[in-house]
């Protein structure tokens, strides 16, 4: 059986106790809508690296992937589409600022979620759940394997 063409998107979910980092789109069909820093995976790029790249491109900050909050899948006219929302911790001293493609980048409280226009209900759901849940943890086996090899899973130590 051969491989399938897949639309692969990612988001960086950055939280701080009661808030989630959101961006307001500046251009395109979602101009004026709010969502997580997000984008597509480039050829030859790990999805987690794409999430960090998008965070840098949209919010001018660096971070470290600590796990996964959500995976969304659906079918489109070109085939399957998968979206992975990674848990990201900002590096010390990093402060989000709007960069390319976004009009605003800021931490938003859950109490404000119903008053903003979202890119999608799924994006709002991911942001809402990120405040209340523990993400799957990530274990990096790349050194042992000799190539990028990451395992994301729930473990009892996470609870």
pLDDT in tens, 91-145: 999 999 999 789 999 999 999 999 999 999 999 999 999 998 888 888 888 899 9
CA-wise closest residue to 98 among 23, 21, 29: 23
Residue 2 domain flag: no
Does the predicted model carry a pTM greater than 0.85? yes
Whether the Cβ atoms of residue 64 and residue 89 lie closer than 8 Å to each other: yes
Name, in order, each residue with C-beta under 8 angstroms of 67's C-beta and a sequence gap of 6 or more: 86, 87, 135, 136, 137, 138, 152, 158
CB distance 105 to 37 below 8 Å: yes
Domain count, the chain: 1
Q: Is residue 1 part of a domain?
A: no
**Binning pLDDT at 50, 70 and 90, where does residue 147 land?**
confident
CATH number at residue 154: 3.90.79.10
Q: Which domain holds residue 20?
A: 7-158
Q: What is the pLDDT of residues 9-58, one digit of tens each?
A: 999 999 998 899 999 999 999 999 999 999 999 999 999 999 999 999 99
């Amino acid at each position: 059986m051969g491989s399938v063409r897949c639309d692969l998107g990612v988001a960086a979910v950055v939280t701080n106790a009661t808030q989630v980092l959101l961006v307001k789109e500046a251009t395109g069909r979602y101009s004026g809508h709010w969502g997580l820093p997000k984008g597509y995976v480039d050829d030859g790029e790990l999805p987690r690296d794409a999430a960090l790249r998008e965070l840098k491109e949209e919010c001018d900050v660096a971070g470290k992937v600590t796990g996964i909050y959500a995976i969304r899948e659906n079918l489109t006219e070109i085939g399957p589409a998968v979206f992975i929302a990674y848990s990201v911790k900002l590096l010390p001293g990093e402060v989000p600022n709007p960069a390319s493609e976004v009009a605003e980048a800021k931490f938003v409280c859950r109490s404000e979620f119903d008053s903003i226009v979202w890119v999608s209900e799924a994006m709002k759901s991911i942001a809402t759940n990120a405040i209340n849940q523990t993400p799957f943890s990530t274990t990096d086996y790349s050194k042992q394997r000799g190539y990028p090899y990451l395992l994301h899973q729930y473990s009892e130590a996470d609870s």
